[in-house]
Amino acid sequence: MPASHVCITRDGRRFEKPSSLLYYQDGPPTSVDIQSWRLRLIGQVPRPLELSYPQLLDLPPVTESRRAVCICNWSVRHEYTGVRLAHVLEMAGLDRPRADALMLLQTSIGTPEKGQYQSTVPLQTALQRNAMICYAIDGAPLSLERGYPARFIDFGLYLYKCVKGLSSLEVTPEYRLSYWEERAGWPLDGTIRPKRYWFCDLKERRYVEKEGEIDEF
């Protein structure tokens, strides 16, 4: 298993980040049949949705430079392209006051050997923080290791709360513990904490004083 992964930014800077395989509990699927793959938005929504990959790519895109953080104290800034969570919820007919009281259960495609990975996050904070369903990083489609075809990211939460290789998003009233929360005791509320982090892209350690999304550098 490679310990790190070389990234090249759109402006040609190179840096290394920890390998995704170190943190892929279910394992990246060996392949994804993109013709039959669907992102399903189900549960407590008026109009459940099934989006094919071309349909997902056809929705109004957003591209944003934002910072993601692993609970193992490293962080990386990338340019993430995807669709706003708010947009797909709106398509499914879920209005904001109702959404604010509900949760989002994300489930991965997974592998036959290791099963699926899940995480539940509150919709209210995810929407406040402009969470996205991301399908490209630094202008390139996601690799299998990084979550192809699509991954959910709430940038105010540690990445263990954000599922790669998505198969479904379920709107539910239930705030439920998942794999790492149960096994390792990681908090159910995975809000990023003030702490010293290793910033892969900056190649330095820095102390972060504010809780939630890191936006000061």
Q: Which CB sits closer to ligand MTE, 25 or 172?
A: 25
At 171, the amino acid letter reads V
Q: Is 167 in the site for ligand MTE (CB under 6 A)?
A: no
**Cβ distance to ligand MTE smaller for residue 51 or 153:** 153
Which of 70, 169, 192, 214 forms a contact with ligand MTE (CB under 6 A)?
70
Report DSSP state, residue 192: P
Query: What's the CA angle centered on 198, arms 193 and 201, to 5 degrees?
Result: 120
Nearest-CB residue to ligand MTE? 20
Partner in contact with 170, chosen from ligand MTE, Mo ion, none, beta carbon below 5 to 8 Å by kind: none
Of residues 94 and 163, the one with the C-beta less far from ligand MTE? 163
108 binds ligand MTE (CB under 6 A): yes
Binding residue for ligand MTE, selected from 51, 86, 162, 169, defined by CB under 6 A:
162
Question: Among candidates 147, 137, 72, 76, which has minimal Cα distance to 106?
Answer: 147
**Should residue 132 be labelled a site residue for ligand MTE when binding is judged by CB under 6 A?**
no
Structure tokens, 94: 């879920």
Separation of alpha carbons 44 and 196, rounded Å: 39
Question: Closest by alpha carbon to 20, among 32, 7, 9, 4?
Answer: 4
Which residues from 4-43 bind ligand MTE, rule CB under 6 A?
A: 20, 23-26
- Report the nearest approach of ligand MTE to the CB of residue 28 (Å): 8
Owner of token pair 């102390």: 207
Q: Which residue is nearest to Mo ion (CB)?
A: 70
| Preceding amide of 173 cis, omega within 30 | no
Cβ pair 162, 156 in contact under 8 A: no
Residue type, 20: S
Binding residues (CB under 5 A) for Mo ion: these are 23, 70, 159-160
Site residues (vs ligand MTE, CB under 6 A): 20, 23-26, 70, 108, 117, 145-146, 159-160, 162-165
